[in-house]
């Protein structure tokens, strides 16, 4: 099934075909005659679809990730619902990221009533629609659109009417007719690459490019890079394509990519399609569209110091837990001081004059070079060490002002983290 | 072991004896010689105790429930720690509720160093102390008090110093020398009684008595009652005492009682001791002290309507879930309208003009009397139905302005809930 996605022509791929069963669209009641009381479509312009509650609830949970928690555009608090010949389409958007899922019409028991290709649509209040469907019993749910104003939801002995908005103002899903790049890779790899890199993107919009993740493909390797100018994360992985793929480079909004990472199952594949303005991640159950961030990403190749004065290898879990504890007492600035000591250990020191202070020691697996004493942001280092999936990590220290380099030992040079030290009076 | 509690003389019972192993107190390093670097107690006034990390962390989690989230008295953000001859005492207080746990000195391997009966104490910042201990590895933890200013925590290769406050200003644990009432009952019963009643106490301090739970014992039955004047909950249970117990009545702060309910294990027993000003709940692992609320609780016996115009019995889970769904669309006032219909069902209706509306039907198990139409606060009814542990519930309707009575069918008259209807224009 996934092979089909990869072999599809570029451009606007059709909706994914998971959830092929369980949806019925039509003017006739189909399997739930008792639930129908209204006029038929022919008589009054109503269109109905029946879908099982768990499928609808799962699909709504997915699109919910694109509903903004705060927005100046009220219609974005809604979910765009369309009942059409092929099933039900649900779309949510925060104007940067759009998530679309399709609940496809069942091959069996489908109504023969003439439903238009496009079908009617309505923007319904997301929070209420999601909460209602989640709390319904797990039987069939009947959706009915009437006069482009009201969504009726029937389930068991319950009947809900939600007043919606005209979809006229809702952001259109990008058409992506002129796709120029396509790549298919396993969810497992994509999820781990996002987890290892996206946290380092800036959460501020002051420099929009730094809020993004650089995605670079050279025909053989995919590399993701993020930096907020204090910390830097990079992961490279070989990704071969059966039909080849061109080189490509773009900057993807970091928050949207993090949401994608959380949504991805470990199983299955994702097909990535990009044009000049947008990128689409398509899995078996949904499509996530993202606006690209335009501009020249800062040069990254010169960031890594060419030499080091000391290399220290430690157990990742031990040093992570020690820094987590030390950072508890580091106060607002999260300043942690690291010092090598001659007994094959590093000391981690922090504290504030009000609460208290702390010293932890972590034994090293190997230690080469000169003695080192350097301060850094403990929370940033915790983020880096949590992203490392290697059992050991090597810190390379250049000099007091150069960045600390962290290399996960098992992954070799394919993963790389940098953290700029903090100058202190110590 | 629990029989001992019941047979103990009234007054200040000794600390509970759980956690008898795992604590060592003394001036000598005991089992952790490498961790000691300071002077011995004889030389400099230091006192040390060793305790296993899981025990200390669990004890801290318990007392943490009494640490206020907001307080005008800074010292209440601390935990009062005392190292003494018998072990370690931890106390936290929000000035209404005080929780005290004892980590007892191990019978084996105890130090013979002369530690004073009372021992030194310090109030250490609760949040930091708890977070540090929770994140320590599960080995032994060494606590050391020095000069009444600093708590030193050693674990593995880590050394933490927390700057504390003088306990002078910390609220004293009530002495309760003149206890006048004592009762022992199973945690399981006490926990379920609290869960079924305490939610109905007022969360406002406008009428302090209504923020409390009335506790009434007649020599054979214990009854808990709470009301915020709109809803009312009552549970009665037979509680026989091997040595008898006098009749008793007091009003206990509802929030403190709810915290106790969450803390109680299903196993074990709780001994309740009260004097004129305080009540103490003592379990195997902790003591919770509460100030009583003084004053005359409103008369409760006349609240229950003597007759009803209709009795309707429904499945508790079905009606709860239906009201949960209906309340989703009920807006800020949470107004839900209930109407009996001739087809042996109740209709539940709600809605707002902005979002939408809803009608649910719940089939009844039995329906007697006249047709009924009444409105109520849906969230309050949800709280009541969640507290009901019976599979079926009977609603008794008196008239439009009298309270709706809810009686859990299996529990008979031992549980009773009232909810005042809302007058609506409908």
Helical spans, DSSP H, in B8-107: 41-44, 53-64
pLDDT in tens, chain B (426 residues): 333 333 333 334 444 434 444 565 554 433 333 332 333 343 346 788 999 999 999 999 999 999 999 999 999 999 999 998 788 999 999 999 999 999 986 532 334 344 555 778 999 999 999 999 999 999 999 999 987 789 999 999 999 999 999 999 899 999 998 888 999 999 999 999 999 999 999 999 899 999 999 999 999 999 999 999 999 999 999 998 877 778 999 999 999 999 999 999 999 999 999 999 999 999 998 999 999 999 999 998 888 888 899 999 999 999 999 999 999 999 988 999 999 998 899 999 999 999 999 999 999 999 999 999 999 999 999 999 999 989 999 999 987 678 999 999 987 779 999 999 998 765
Indicate yes or no: CB of A355 within 8 angstroms of CB of B324.
no
A354-363 pLDDT, tens per residue? 999 999 999 9
CA quadruple B392, B398, B400, B402: dihedral sign: negative
Tokens of B329: 């669309």
* Among A325, A330, A346, the residue to mutate for chain B (most B Cβ within 10 A): A325
Structural Rg of chain B based on CA atoms: 26
Q: What's the CATH code, domain B2-169?
A: 3.10.150.10
| Residue B252 near residue B279, CB atoms below 8 Å | yes
Query: Looking at residue A105, what DSSP letter applies?
Result: B
Give the whole-angstrom CA distance, residue B206 versus residue B202. 9
| Residue A378 near residue A343, CB atoms below 8 Å | no
**List of chain A residues whose C-beta atoms are within 8 Å of the C-beta of residue B328:** 128, 131-132, 135
B284-318 pLDDT, tens per residue? 989 999 999 999 999 988 888 888 999 999 999 99
| Second-level CATH architecture of B310-419 | Roll (3.10)
Helical spans, DSSP H, in A161-218: 187-197
Q: In which region does residue A72 sit, left (phi positive, over 0), alpha (psi from -120 to 50) or beta (all else)?
A: alpha
**List of chain A residues whose C-beta atoms are within 8 Å of the C-beta of residue B321:** 135, 137
Q: Give the start-end residues of each E strand in A292-425.
A: 310-315, 335-341, 345-352, 356-363, 366-369, 373-377, 392-397, 404-408, 415-419
Tokens of B238: 């037979």
CA distance, residue B163 to nearest chain A CA (Å): 5
CA distance, residue B135 to nearest chain A CA (Å): 6
CA distance, residue B241 to nearest chain A CA (Å): 45
Give the whole-angstrom CA distance, residue B235 versus residue B196. 7
CA distance, residue B367 to nearest chain A CA (Å): 18
Q: What's the CATH code, domain B181-291?
A: 3.10.150.10
Indicate yes or no: CB of A135 within 8 angstroms of CB of B162.
no
Indicate yes or no: CB of B321 within 8 angstroms of CB of A137.
yes
Indicate yes or no: CB of B160 within 8 angstroms of CB of A324.
no
| Residue B191 near residue B149, CB atoms below 8 Å | no
Q: Which residues contact A201 (CB under 8 A, 6 or more apart)?
A: A210, A211, A212, A213, A226, A227, A228, A254, A255, A257
| Share in percent of chain B as helix, strand, coil (round to 5) | 25, 40, 40
Q: How confident is the model at residue A21 (pLDDT cuts 50, 70, 90)?
A: very low
Nearest CA in chain B to A317: B137
Give the whole-angstrom CA distance, residue B229 versus residue B74. 34
**List of chain B residues whose C-beta atoms are within 8 Å of the C-beta of residue A359:** 158-159
A151-206 pLDDT, tens per residue? 999 999 999 999 999 999 899 999 998 888 999 999 999 999 999 999 999 999 89
| Residue B92 near residue B101, CB atoms below 8 Å | no
Q: How confident is the model at residue A303 (pLDDT cuts 50, 70, 90)?
A: confident
DSSP A387-423: H--SSEEEEEE-SSSSPEEEEETTTGGGEEEEE--B-
* Among A326, A355, A378, A379, the residue to mutate for chain B (most B Cβ within 10 A): A355
Q: In which region does residue B59 sit, left (phi positive, over 0), alpha (psi from -120 to 50) or beta (all else)?
A: alpha
CA distance, residue A175 to nearest chain B CA (Å): 31
Task: Please report, for residues A260, A336, A361, A424, B29, the alpha-carbon distance to residue B157 in angstroms, rounded to integers and kept in the order given.
Answer: 40, 16, 5, 25, 16
Write down the domain spans for chain A: 2-169, 181-291, 310-419
Q: How many CA atoms lie within 13 A of A68 on its CB side?
A: 14
Q: What is the pLDDT of residue B40?
A: 34
Structural Rg of chain A based on CA atoms: 26
Q: Do domains B2-169 and B181-291 have the same CATH topology?
A: yes
Residues, chain A = 426
Q: How many angstroms separate the most distant Cα atoms in chain B?
A: 88
Indicate yes or no: CB of A157 within 8 angstroms of CB of B363.
yes
Strands A278-282 and A287-291, how do they pair? antiparallel
**List of chain B residues whose C-beta atoms are within 8 Å of the C-beta of residue A157:** 345, 360-363
**List of chain A residues whose C-beta atoms are within 8 Å of the C-beta of residue B360:** 157-159
The H-or-E segment that residue B316 falls in is helix B316-328
Indicate yes or no: CB of B362 within 8 angstroms of CB of A157.
yes
**List of chain A residues whose C-beta atoms are within 8 Å of the C-beta of residue B323:** none
Indicate yes or no: CB of A159 within 8 angstroms of CB of B125.
no
Q: What is the pLDDT of residue B411?
A: 78
**List of chain B residues whose C-beta atoms are within 8 Å of the C-beta of residue A158:** 322, 325, 358-361
Indicate yes or no: CB of B328 within 8 angstroms of CB of A131.
yes
Q: Which residues contact B416 (CB under 8 A, 6 or more apart)?
A: B232, B233, B234, B235, B304, B405, B406, B407
Indicate yes or no: CB of A163 within 8 angstroms of CB of B355.
yes
B64 three-class SS: helix
- The interface predicted TM-score (ipTM) is 0.84
CB atoms within 10 A of CB A311: 17
CA distance, residue A300 to nearest chain B CA (Å): 36
DSSP A9-54: PSSSPPPP--S-SSEEEESS-TT-GGG--S--HHHH--EEEEEEHH
Task: Please report, for residues A335, A339, A347, B252, the alpha-carbon distance to residue A310 in angstroms, rounded to integers and kept in the order given.
Answer: 21, 12, 15, 64
Q: For residue B393, give the nearest of B335, B339, B317, B340 by alpha carbon.
A: B317
Give the whole-angstrom CA distance, residue A109 versus residue A89. 19
The H-or-E segment that residue A260 falls in is helix A254-263
Helical spans, DSSP H, in B98-170: 126-135
Indicate yes or no: CB of A358 within 8 angstroms of CB of B159.
yes
Q: Measure CB to CB from residue B160 to each of A345, A356, A363 and give the nearest one.
A: A356
Q: For residue B182, give the nearest of B235, B123, B222, B127 by alpha carbon.
A: B222
Interface list for chain B against chain A, based on CB atoms closer than 8 Å: 125, 128, 131-132, 135-137, 150, 157-163, 321-322, 324-325, 328-329, 345, 351, 354-363
The residue written with tokens 């504290």 in the block is A351
| Residue B171 near residue B260, CB atoms below 8 Å | no
Give the whole-angstrom CA distance, residue B161 versus residue B229. 50
Q: How many CA atoms lie within 13 A of A126 on its CB side?
A: 24
* Among B127, B133, B145, B157, the residue to mutate for chain A (most A Cβ within 10 A): B157
Nearest CA in chain B to A157: B361
CB atoms within 10 A of CB A194: 23
């Amino acid at each position: 099934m996934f092979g089909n996605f990869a072999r599809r022509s570029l451009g606007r791929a059709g909706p994914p075909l998971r959830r092929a069963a369980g949806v019925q669209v039509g003017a006739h009641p189909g399997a739930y005659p008792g639930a129908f009381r209204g006029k038929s479509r022919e008589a009054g312009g109503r269109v109905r679809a029946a879908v099982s509650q768990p499928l609808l609830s799962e699909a709504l949970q997915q699109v919910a990730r694109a509903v903004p928690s705060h927005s100046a555009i009220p219609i974005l608090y809604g979910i765009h619902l369309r009942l059409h010949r092929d099933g039900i389409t649900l779309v949510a958007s925060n104007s940067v990221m759009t998530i679309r899922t399709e609940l496809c019409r069942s091959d069996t028991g489908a109504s023969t009533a003439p439903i238009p290709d496009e079908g009617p649509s309505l923007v319904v209040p997301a929070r209420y629609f999601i909460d209602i469907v989640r709390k319904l019993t797990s039987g069939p749910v009947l959706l009915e659109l009437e006069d482009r104003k009201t969504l009726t939801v029937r389930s068991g002995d319950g009947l809900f009417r939600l007043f919606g908005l005209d979809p006229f103002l809702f952001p259109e899903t990008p058409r992506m007719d002129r796709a120029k790049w396509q790549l298919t890779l396993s969810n497992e790899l994509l999820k781990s690459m996002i987890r290892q890199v996206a946290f380092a993107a800036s959460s501020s919009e002051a420099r929009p490019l730094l809020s993004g993740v650089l995605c670079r493909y050279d025909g053989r390797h995919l590399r993701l890079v993020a930096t907020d100018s204090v910390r830097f994360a990079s992961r490279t992985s070989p990704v071969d394509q059966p039909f080849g793929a061109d080189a490509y480079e773009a900057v993807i909004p970091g928050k949207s990519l993090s949401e994608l990472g959380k949504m991805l199952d470990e199983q299955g594949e994702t097909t990535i399609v990009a044009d000049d303005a947008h990128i689409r991640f398509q899995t078996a159950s949904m499509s996530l569209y993202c606006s690209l961030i335009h501009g020249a990403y800062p040069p990254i190749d010169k960031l890594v110091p060419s030499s080091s004065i000391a290399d220290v290898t430690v157990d990742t879990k031990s040093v992570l837990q020690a820094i987590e504890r030390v950072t508890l007492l580091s106060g607002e600035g999260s300043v942690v001081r690291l010092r090598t000591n001659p007994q094959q250990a590093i000391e981690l020191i922090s504290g504030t004059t009000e609460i208290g202070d702390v010293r932890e020691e972590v034994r090293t697996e190997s230690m080469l070079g000169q003695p080192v004493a350097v301060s850094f942001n403990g929370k940033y280092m915790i983020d880096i060490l949590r992203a490392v999936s290697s059992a050991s990590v090597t810190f390379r220290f250049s000099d007091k002002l150069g960045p600390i380099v962290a290399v996960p030992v098992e992954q070799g040079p394919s993963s790389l983290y940098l953290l700029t030290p903090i100058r202190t009076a110590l």
